[in-house]
Amino acid sequence: MTTRYEHDDLYWQDEYEPITEDDAFLREIVAASDLPSLLAALAAVTGDTSALTDDLQPPLTPVDTIGHPHGGMTAEQQEKARAIALAGLRRVRDERLTSVGTLSEAQLGAILGFLVAGHEEWIPSLTHELDLAPDKGAAPDWHVDEFDTERPFTVLVIGAGMSGIAAGFRFSQAGIPVTMIDEAHTLGGTWWKNRYPGVRLDTPTFGYSFSFAQRADWPHQFAEGAEIEEYLLDIAQRTGLADRVEFSTRFVRAAWLEEEQLWEVTTSGPQGERTRRFSAIITAVGQLDRPHIPDFPGRDSFRGVVMHSAEWDDAVAWQGKRVAVIGTGASAYQIVPAMYRDVESLVVFQRSAPWMLPAPSYHAEVTEAFAWLVRKLPHFGQWYRLWVTLLGIPGRLHTVTAEEGWPGVPVTISAVNQRVRDDLIARMTEQYADRPELLSIAIPSYPPGAKRMLRDNGVWAAALKAPTTTVETSPISHLTERGIVTESGIEHEVDIIVYATGFKASDYLDGMEFVGRDGIEIHEYWRGDARAYNGITVPGFPNLFMLYGPNIVGVVSGSLHFMIERSVEYALKAVRELLASGAHALEVTQEALERYLAWVDPQNRRMSWGQPFVHTWYQNAMGRVSQIWPFTNAEFWEVTERVDLADYEVLRSGARAGQTGSMGTDTGANASGNQSDSAQTWDEVDSGQSDDIENSLTAQGTSDRETTREISRDEAVEAAERARIKRSGGTV
């Protein structure tokens, strides 16, 4: 093991505060606590797993709309569990247990076996998340020095947000020289860029952290943006990455050098344009990084202040002003409630209403009982994180899977989807009882789960009902110097326009140029339909590894941290293969990619976001769902468990050591500044893009998406074939 940390977790704590409180206090703690995670933590600290019997096992009842506390334990089970937990806490107090050690295999099996309630197939991926496991299997268990390499293996990581930090950390653990760049002046990506009022997570904080940085003392159930930014900065400092990133340095272009088997990379930064060579490139440039602003007629004529949600200007005094917010997606959903009380007036432009899942604790701090347990019960926070991760494996996938022949389309896709819709409408009916005209506007016209589901604690309805708020559903016709004119002919005069219109999510590697083995640029290869094997590797582009690549995100299940960490680990495994074999590059085959997509695409088409009548930014301009991983995290764990060389071409260079790795050589090469020109996509506003897609399909004489998919796949195969013919040598 090469990690320089005794434990893989950067927040590992040797000692916790002793418990000194009396029984009455402990009883209150137990009454206010989540039971499965508490039982697991107590079993680990005391080493006694005997109480984790089958009859006490949380049944993990599938959750439709509101959660089932304690994993669906019955009242009887809960009563028994509370008695066991109280006895456990007393023991921790009386025996002054203030630390916890690595579990034995038997203890690990007993505790995880208890929590997974029969889903043994989840255990390997959960072990990956648990620092108390004898072998967590996440950190590299090898070091570059072990290999007799003919030349240094160097890696460029583009981006220093969450993904870049994960890559920098893990590759450094293996001793691989890493160069990190970011076009921004600081770390954090999403979490320093998005500074709008109200910015915070809409997934639970305890599911939103790395397995190697399991911070436990989070103040909020859904962390504020600044808390996540602080977390990322702290990790970067603890790992030494913070000092190593080349900031204000933009990746411009990379070209694969067939003879040398290296990437020649051009960057643009404070030292001007530089060209360097690297053995591999890791893209960590996010998916929601490039703001999308719809091209409304007259957009530039508006004389007031204009801000995209991701480009918030803190100097703008919006209080007391007339404000328009365009969009009702994830960002608007946070901005509107944070602003409405302090503005003179607010107009919210809505094209489609969001579905919102009940989350009463959305703005709440963690409870006192929870904070106490984090301080006093060794590793409790980590067990709670594991429990949240476990519940996220099935998530709500069962609520968004279509039933064949279901009569409820286009507003629902199955009986359980209908039940979710009915429950959520019942909730909204109560919220808007005093404003029935808003209720009809608030009910989405698409199935639950087809777009990102937001978290509801009533603030959205309160903001829309405010006397100073207007919800405008007529589409935007054009902008004037005074404000926004709708198709219904109303002009809304405003001082400030906030574009909460999302990002160019489908334009993977936007503004970047990668010229692969055969001289084909990656966007030319993709043709508006970004595809990658396991979301990571692309045929024709050896030693290029994407993080947060195509088909990686979960909608109603999973943790993005898990997906990104596994992508990093997969890239590391690929590098290990190269070091061990003395080869220089791996290129995934077109066949492997096709096989993979033939598995992923049909499953996405079964989900609510993949239905042909649904218009969502999860689908790209070709109509393919290019954003979403439709399975569980546990299944991603399986496919990334090993790099199967049968899926790859193994490449070796004809060049000798010494010709390569000349890092930092200034050549004055030109930046070509390629732009992907695929159709725009955005998350929060449906401004007619989908109609454009339908029109273009009709123009091609193809009315169904399946056919379109086939065409694009054929084109891809054709491009790869051309590439193969053009190549000569360099392959063994």
Ligand X SMILES: Cc1cc2nc3c(=O)[nH]c(=O)nc-3n(C[C@H](O)[C@H](O)[C@H](O)COP(=O)(O)OP(=O)(O)OC[C@H]3O[C@@H](n4cnc5c(N)ncnc54)[C@H](O)[C@@H]3O)c2cc1C
Which residues of this chain interact with ligand X, rule CB under 6 A? 158-164, 181-184, 189-190, 194, 199, 201-203, 208, 250-251, 284-286, 288-289, 331, 511-512, 547-548, 560
Question: Nearest approach, Cβ of 448 to ligand X (angstroms)?
Answer: 18
The bridge status of strand 454-456 relative to strand 476-479 is unpaired
Question: Nearest approach, Cβ of 680 to ligand X (angstroms)?
Answer: 17
Of residues 208 and 648, the one with the C-beta less far from ligand X: 208
Of residues 241 and 512, the one with the C-beta less far from ligand X: 512
Short-list 175, 131, 128, CA closest to 155:
175
Beta-bridge partner residues of 251: 267
Of residues 163 and 239, the one with the C-beta less far from ligand X: 163
Question: Nearest approach, Cβ of 200 to ligand X (angstroms)?
Answer: 8
Question: Nearest approach, Cβ of 485 to ligand X (angstroms)?
Answer: 28
Short-list 306, 357, 339, 295, CA closest to 685:
295
Of residues 250 and 531, the one with the C-beta less far from ligand X: 250
Do 255 and 264 contact (CB within 8 A), yes or no?
Answer: yes
Question: Nearest approach, Cβ of 61 to ligand X (angstroms)?
Answer: 24
Calculated CA dihedral for residues 131, 133, 135, 138, nearest 10 degrees: -40
Of residues 194 and 590, the one with the C-beta less far from ligand X: 194
Question: Nearest approach, Cβ of 508 to ligand X (angstroms)?
Answer: 11
3-state secondary structure 202-268: CCCHHHCCCCCCCCCCCCECCCEHHHHHHHHHHHHHHCCCCCCEECCCEEEEEEEECCCCEEEEEEE
d(CA 112, CA 389): 12
Of residues 144 and 165, the one with the C-beta less far from ligand X: 165
d(CA 695, CA 382): 51
Of residues 382 and 567, the one with the C-beta less far from ligand X: 567
Of residues 203 and 480, the one with the C-beta less far from ligand X: 203
Of residues 151 and 385, the one with the C-beta less far from ligand X: 385
Q: Mind giving me the DSSP string for 108-166?
A: HHHHHHHHHTT-GGGHHHHHTT-TTSS----S-S--GGGS--SS---EEEE--SHHHHH
The bridge status of strand 178-181 relative to strand 245-246 is parallel
Of residues 63 and 158, the one with the C-beta less far from ligand X: 158
Question: Nearest approach, Cβ of 164 to ligand X (angstroms)?
Answer: 6
Question: Nearest approach, Cβ of 203 to ligand X (angstroms)?
Answer: 4
Q: Which helix (H) or strand (E) covers residue 78, if one does?
A: helix 75-94
642: tokens are 């090993």
Beta-bridge partner residues of 116: none
Residue length of the chain: 732
Question: Nearest approach, Cβ of 168 to ligand X (angstroms)?
Answer: 11
79: tokens are 């009563």
d(CA 299, CA 682): 17
SS3 370: helix
Of residues 110 and 512, the one with the C-beta less far from ligand X: 512
Amino acid at 656: R
Of residues 169 and 208, the one with the C-beta less far from ligand X: 208
240: tokens are 């030494």
Do 147 and 169 contact (CB within 8 A), yes or no?
Answer: no
d(CA 504, CA 677): 11
